[in-house]
Structures are given as C-alpha cells and as structure tokens.
Amino acid sequence: MFENQQPCKKADFKEKKGSSTLSTDSNDSPCTRDAIIEKDEVSNASKQPSYCKDQAEKLSTQRERSSIPKAHGKDGEHWIYPSERMFFQAMRRKNWNPQAEQMQIIVPIHNAVNERVWHEILKWESGWGSESCGGPKLIQFEGKSSQLSPKARWLGFWGYKPPFDRHDWKIDRCGKEVDYIIDFYSGKEKGDMLSFYLDVRPKFDMNGAWMRLSRGFRDLFSKEKT
C-alpha cells in the first residue's frame, strides 16, 4: 500500500532522540512547513518580545543553497533555504514557541527532507522529456496540512493514520506544468531513531494518471525479469 513511500530517519542527520522537542505528530510540523524561502524576508523583530530578539540575534544568518532549480529565475539559479534566524522568526510569527537551540537540529532536517522530496520527483520525471531542457524546475510550492489528499482519504477509510502534513509542488517540465502531491506520514520510533515517510507522486489528473500507470507497468515488468 505504501510502496512509493521513502523513509526519512532522524538518525540520518546524526541527532539523538530527546535533543529536540520537535514532534512529527503535529499538524504543522516545522520540518516540512514553509519548505523553501525564496527571498530574505523582512523581519518583524519590532513586534516580538525582547527575549525573542535576544535569542534570534544569536542564531546564524547563513543560508544553504538547495539543489532545486528555480523555474522563473536566471539560468543556474536555485532555491535558497532559510537561515536559522529566519526559521526561528517565522516560527515565532506563527506562535509555535520555538527554542533557539532547536534551530541547529530543525533547519538541517528541514533542508534534508526537501532534498529528499526533490530526489523523488526527479525519479518520477526521468524519461518524460525534461532532460532536453536541463531537467525539471520548481515553480512553486504550497502547504496543505489541513487538506487530505484523495489517496490519504482512501487509506483512512481502510484504517490507516492520516499524514501529519501535505505539500503540493508545481514543476516546470520544458514549459509544461506538472503537479506533485507529497504526504508526510509518521513512522515508528526505533531506539534513538525517529522516522517518517514521504509519499511523493504526481497529482491524479490526466497527466499524473498516465505517469502512475506507466511506472506501475515498468515496475511490474522489472520484477518479472528478476
């Protein structure tokens, strides 16, 4: 039922359980919400309590360049992840009550999760023609944690737990827009490992249905050969 899901483990990022209060059971996990920030946002520091300003000033302002190309940018331009300070301030504005020391844990996980999502999208896009124009590029993304995807609703009907978050990503395939849905599911904790799963697939429209069917046949024939 979950054959297309890809596991993400906290141990992959060399963090120990208990070092962060981050929970993947939240409906608005800071690990997946606001996936990428394109520009430096104007800080609302004047609206924040003084102790929040003090915490933010201690955080790094260094930002990491993602591997995800921008559809509407200059040639070779990529999306940029938020810095620790930007992430902290964004969480404060949403009243998530973050702790500054958590940012060194949350931000790398946040970035790695989105890199994994893009890796899965590239696997889906392989063989569909984007190689002729330099590969797919990300147009936009949107968090929809309050809206279950059709697949998530169907799985819920059969007793599966709902995803704790959902993203919709729109990519450019040589001028053609292709929509993807990403559901984030909590996994089982094993020792010091906190895991969750990414279910990345094309949206179930005419194009997405054909892509899913094609992959299904491809996987079926590859199994028969082995």
Cβ 70 vs Cβ 87: under 8 Å: no
- Is residue 199 helix, strand or coil? strand
Higher pLDDT, 225 or 94: 94
Digit-coded pLDDT (tens) for 84-127 = 999 999 888 888 888 888 899 889 999 999 999 999 999 999 99
Q: Determine phi and psi for 167, rounding to 5 degrees.
A: -125, 145
Q: Select from 141, 166, 140 the least CA-distant residue to 152.
A: 166
14 or 78, higher pLDDT:
78
Find the distance separating the first CA and the last CA of the chain, reported in whole Å: 21
Q: Which residues contact 14 (CB under 8 A, 6 or more apart)?
A: none
At 191 the pLDDT is 65
Closest CA to 135 of 79, 70, 46, 200: 70
3-state secondary structure of 110: helix
Residue 199's identity, in one-letter code, is D
Convert the pLDDT of each residue in 9-58 to its tens digit: 443 433 333 222 223 333 444 444 444 544 444 344 444 454 455 667 78
Mean pLDDT of the region 62-79? 92
Q: Provide the pLDDT for residue 15.
A: 34
Give the mean pLDDT of the chain: 79
Would you give the distance in Å from CA 73 to the centre of its chain?
21
**Looking at residues 166-193, what average pLDDT do you find?**
89
Residue 225 confidence class, pLDDT cut points 50, 70, 90:
low
Are 127 and 217 contacting, i.e. CB atoms less than 8 angstroms apart?
Answer: no
Q: What pLDDT, on a 0 to 100 scale, did the predictor assign at position 12? A: 41
| DSSP element (H, E) containing 141 | strand 137-143
Is 139 within 8 Å of 71 (Cβ atoms)? yes
- Distance from C-alpha of 67 to C-alpha of 156, rounded to nearest angstrom: 34
Q: What is the pLDDT of residue 30?
A: 47
pLDDT on residue 46: 42
| β-strand pairing of 137-143 with 165-173 | antiparallel
